[in-house]
Amino acid sequence: MPDTDSHSPALLHEVASLPNLPGVYRYFDADGGLLYVGKANSLKKRVSSYFQKNHGGTRIGHMVGKIVRMETTVVRSEAEALLLENNLIKTLQPKYNILFRDDKSYPYLKMTATVVPDDAPRPAGGQGVASAQPLHFSRVAYYRGGVEKKHHYFGPYPSAWAVKEAVLLMQKVFRLRTCEDSVFSNRSRPCLLYQIKRCSGPCVGHISAAAYAQDVADAQRFLQGDAQDVMRDLEARMMAHADRLEFEQAAELRNQVAALSNVLHQQSVDNVSDRDVDILAVKVQGGRACVNLAMVRGGRHLGDRPYFPAQLEAAASLDDDAVTAPRSMEQRVLEAFLAQHYIGIPMPGVLVLSEPVDKALVDALSEQHGIRVNAVHQPREQRRAWLDMAETNAALQLARLLSEEGSQQARTRALAQALDLAVEALETLRIECFDISHTAGEATQASCVVFVGHAMQSAHYRRYNIEGITPGDDYAAMRQVLTRRYAKLAQAQAQARLQGEAVPAAARMPDLVLVDGGRGQVSMAREVFASLGLDLGLIVGVEKGEGRKVGLEELVFADGRDKITLPPDSAALMLVAQIRDEAHRFAITGMRQKRAKVRVDGGALETIPGIGPKRRARLLQRFGGVRGVAQASAQDLAGVDGISRELAEEIYRALR
């Protein structure tokens, strides 16, 4: 019998009325949650197959039993259906689809736009520095975010490390500047980078704007894959200088040629015939999958990056169209990655793949990006070597993930057993940990980190600015942060009990509350929980052992239980230490950022009456930082737009 007994006649009538046209369908449960997004060449045939068959106790049967509502969108072609389907999957993250959750944008190497002036010889040694303007000398920098057309961007790169390596290369070979414009504008002598031959010193006139622009152009050609052409041009210019007996200029170019030759020799995996290529290898094992993406840009292999999809098992039997031939799990995962990954980011014209993919998907990607995408399966020569590396890395990354997940699950289980936690499923065990951080009472912050699903969940972390207490009073800080975190939850729970309703999920308390500290901090937490009417058994303090050595921590309870000491090699203690250390790291980071804002980032200026964000920005830009503002005279300060003579004198007095 088909699985239709639990579905409303209206839903079944809607299914029967679907057209034989391509489109996208979406299934919803009784709570309005999105279960699944799919595409079909024929909506009628594809959707009907879910409701006309008996799927038994399979995953697909479990999902079909939850469907109470359906939405469909008719499109003009299979390509449009593919694009719409994966846009919806990426943005809505349905429960039963294969999901690649990676919200991080890719980093780029950025070269700022250059306005080349009418170049004239300039004295060396810092003379005439005032005419050196940042806009005349392009800056190379690491960049992540939206791109602007006026600047030049190279990449994307698979990691921040790869971009920083490229920036270092630009310094070594082409000696391009990396300093901020505010620093550039206020130099009176060359910095250390000039001394170690990592910058040509444009800020103090050691290179003309035209010569610097030539270096920028060579760097851009190199990044675009024209390394050999750049090498030949440099050699030709070197010989021309030598013929004119301009031996200093010839020596500079000789050093540049040597540096570039050394770089090309080190990058033996390069292949200039392939400028921009993405290499993708997939590995499936133990119910998990890894897609390893390696990038080649400008003929240079930039490294790789692993991706691990979620909902793999849930989607295992759901995304095969009944009218197509069955595909392996590797193919499904790779196709899901291709369709989701390239939404909103540029893609190269060549893809080297470990598995064959549907031609319709490749055509849809070509249509989406306005370029002809060539998908290569079973490549040869250099592409084969690249794919072999990607496949090896995919296998290694997946093995690492499975090992870490296995050990992390064992730690979660050990902690639940050691503390006798009443948790129905370990996947739902939620632990929140608090720590206080400050420097001699300054910039006090509290952190709350969250562990759930056998992993730290950074998206749920929170920081609390602690105010209105005696500086350095950690107990008062802990009272404040616990009250702010749990008072509303306690109120929501009391309201639900008063009305005889179930406690809403948003008001659910964690299964364990860790506080970094011993009996004093636990006593403070007990007072807060008692005043809020919360369960004291949730509170556990992590007390440092003898000599404050790692592995000798003791667990202190708020409900009167005797404290316990776990063995140093205990998996439960390892998990407690991991969570405690993450809370400490998060608190320290926040405290340092808050302290730096006051000490370094101009916060001192904003305490002066009459100085708002705009005037502060003008002062920092003119003098290169708070230190420069503090060293300036009142007359210099009054020369800044928007700063009167009276205000300049006030700033001078406040910072002195």
| Model pLDDT, residue 323 | 40
Mean pLDDT calculated for residue range 214-232: 79
pLDDT bracket for residue 283 (50, 70, 90): very high
Q: Is the pLDDT of residue 506 over 80?
A: no
Mean pLDDT calculated for residue range 549-574: 82
Specify the higher pLDDT residue, 137 or 628.
137
Q: Give me the amino acid identity at 147.
A: V
Nearest to 43 by CA among 85, 66, 73: 73
Q: Is the pLDDT of residue 1 over 50?
A: no
Domains of the chain with bracketed CATH: 9-76 (3.40.1440.10), 107-117+124-266 (no CATH), 277-398 (3.30.420), 426-598 (3.30.420.340), 600-655 (1.10.150.20)
Peptide bond into 9 cis (omega under 30): no
pLDDT in tens, 332-391: 889 888 888 887 778 888 999 999 988 888 888 888 888 899 999 988 888 898 999 999
Q: Is the pLDDT of residue 266 over 50?
A: no
| Model pLDDT, residue 4 | 53
Which whole-number Å values give the CA distances from 16 to 40, 49, 288, in the listed order?
15, 11, 36
- Scored b (16 or more CB within 10 A) or e, 405-420 reads beebbebbbbbbebbe
Q: What is the SS3 assignment for 327-371?
A: CCHHHHHHHHHHHHHCCCCCCCCEEEECCCCCHHHHHHHHHHHCC
Task: Tell me which residue has tokens 């009073």.
Answer: 473
Q: Give me the amino acid identity at 77.
A: S
Distance of CA 108 to the CA centre of its chain: 13
pLDDT bracket for residue 512 (50, 70, 90): very high
CA distance 306 to 438: 37
pLDDT in tens, 408-422: 888 888 888 888 887
| Model pLDDT, residue 128 | 38
pLDDT bracket for residue 314 (50, 70, 90): low
Contact 312, 58 (CB under 8 A): no
| Model pLDDT, residue 278 | 92
CA distance from start to end of the chain: 86
Mean pLDDT calculated for residue range 65-79: 86
User: 302 by DSSP, 3-state: which?
Assistant: strand
Percent of the chain scoring above 70 in pLDDT: 84
Mean pLDDT calculated for residue range 28-44: 87
CA distance 578 to 214: 52
- 532 Cβ contact partners less than 8 Å away, ≥ 6 residues apart: 483, 486, 487, 490
Q: Is the pLDDT of residue 610 over 60?
A: yes
The pTM for the full model equals 0.61
Mean pLDDT calculated for residue range 205-231: 82
Between CA 418 and CA 422, with CA 421 as vertex, the angle to 5 degrees is 145
Q: Which uninterrupted H or E stretch holds 17?
A: none
Q: Give me the amino acid identity at 200.
A: S
* Helix and strand counts by DSSP (H, E) for the chain: 21, 19
Mean pLDDT calculated for residue range 548-569: 80
Please provide the average confidence, as pLDDT, over all residues in the chain: 80
Q: Is the pLDDT of residue 585 over 50?
A: yes
Token pair in block for residue 381? 């020569």
| Model pLDDT, residue 539 | 92
The partner residues of 12 in beta bridges, in order of sequence, read none
